[in-house]
Amino acid sequence: MTPAQGHYRPMKSAPQFSFKDVLRAPARALSAKQILVMTVFLIAGLAVYDIFTYLAFAFQGESVRSAFSAYGLFPFVQTAFGNSWVQGLYWLGVAMAVLVVMLGFCGVSIINIEAVRGNRFCSARQAIRFALQRFRQIFLAELSIVVFVAFVVLLFFLLGLVSRIPYLGEWLYVLLFTLPNFIISLFIIFIIFVFTLTVLVLPAVAAAERNGETFTAILETFSTIILKPFQWAGYTAYSLAAAKVCSFIYAYFAYRAVEFLIWSSSLGGGESLERLAKASLAHLPVKSDFVAEIFNIFPGVPFGVDVAAMAGFPSKDALSYVMAFMILLIFASILGYLLAIVAAAQARGYVALRFMKDDYNIAEEPPLFFEDEPVNEPLTEDELAEFDNGKEA
């Protein structure tokens, strides 16, 4: 017996279909399962990026071992590739890594969508499994947009070939320049602009779409941005600002927690533990601008902690690499919380925007991962009739 049949349905907080739904995104995302889901896919995305990047080094004829010793787990070096085919392999890795992160957005989104539907107990395992199942939908949706734009580029390429025809070709190009070519080009530019935004919107749409249909996901993504652009932009701007500030607070406490752990354990273990922690930090890009901004409250506001000051001299000891990985997990959880806030806001915002533009209430849908388990088997219609007749007798 399911909630759709009108029986017991778990408690849920009714959405307000306004900015209030997005306002509490930082608090809603501050849950172990949402941070875990986002962190898992974030690390997976980094792994995919590293694999493709070092494959690009290998195809370029460079030593992978030398490249790894120079760049480590963070080879953000797109300018190091001169061959166009190698650059293509590198950017393919970037695209696949972004796709994996989008799966993380989808996993966090389904947790929030299920909460809106009434199921507050959607687990991290269910969210990860759901996101992996929606890989095909998200991939095909993105691929469809890319293929469509590529098809139009091909048509303009053929038009360029036609323009080479003596006398007639250039006249044809000029006469068709405004209508329809300019209109088509303007339309394609808009599609490309929306395509860059699908990284945020599409995972939430895919999480709310029950059947995993690619066309429906594309349609809802474009209609959300086209019909409610200012509301969506406002929700997104707030979520990005709130994610930065709230993730800094989490990063600050994480930094102090690591600092306290090292200090207190060094009281019993000696200075060797402190040297181990400093040597492990030296393996991580703690001196990069990106890390500095993560531990700074907001860009342009000089208030934060200096993680680079804790780093010591790198060590080739295997233990220092393991320790570096442990600290990397803590840092990844900070980014995981930041992105989880954005994903939660997109999911809650999409519920509100879907109601605004279509008068459709996603909260009225039955949860995907909730099943009522009655003590007794539900009675059939004949059994109910016999019970009523016996009761009347």
- pLDDT digits over 288-325, tens only? 888 889 999 988 888 888 888 888 887 778 898 899 99
Task: Indicate whether this model's pTM tops 0.75.
Answer: yes
The string of pLDDT tens digits covering residues 53-80 is 999 999 888 888 888 877 877 888 766 7
The most confident of the ranges 6-15, 70-79, 187-196, 261-270 is 187-196
Position with higher pLDDT, 10 vs 101: 101
Evaluate the CA torsion angle 109, 199, 147, 191 in order and state its sign: positive
Q: What DSSP character marks residue 366?
A: P
| pLDDT on residue 380 | 64
Over 60: is that where the pLDDT of 379 sits? no
Region 354-378 average pLDDT: 80
Cα–Cα–Cα angle for 151, 154, 159, rounded to 5 degrees: 130
Over 60: is that where the pLDDT of 375 sits? no
Q: List, as own/partner pairs, every contact residues 78-84 make where C-beta atoms lie below 8 angstroms and the sequence separation is at least 24, other chains included.
A: 81/56, 83/59
| pLDDT on residue 4 | 44
The rounded mean pLDDT for the chain is 89
The string of pLDDT tens digits covering residues 273-291 is 888 989 898 888 888 888 8
Q: Which two tokens stand for residue 164?
A: 């080479």
| pLDDT on residue 316 | 79
Question: Alpha-carbon distance 50 to 57, whole Å?
Answer: 11
Angle between helices 229-269 and 214-227 (to 10 degrees): 110
Q: Which two tokens stand for residue 393?
A: 């007798």
Q: Which two tokens stand for residue 200?
A: 């945020």
- Which of 18, 95, 102, 39 shows the shortest CA–CA distance to 349? 18
Question: What is the domain partition of the chain in residue ranges?
Answer: 229-364
Question: Alpha-carbon distance 31 to 327, whole Å?
Answer: 20
Determine what percent of the chain is predicted with pLDDT higher than 70: 90
| pLDDT on residue 298 | 86
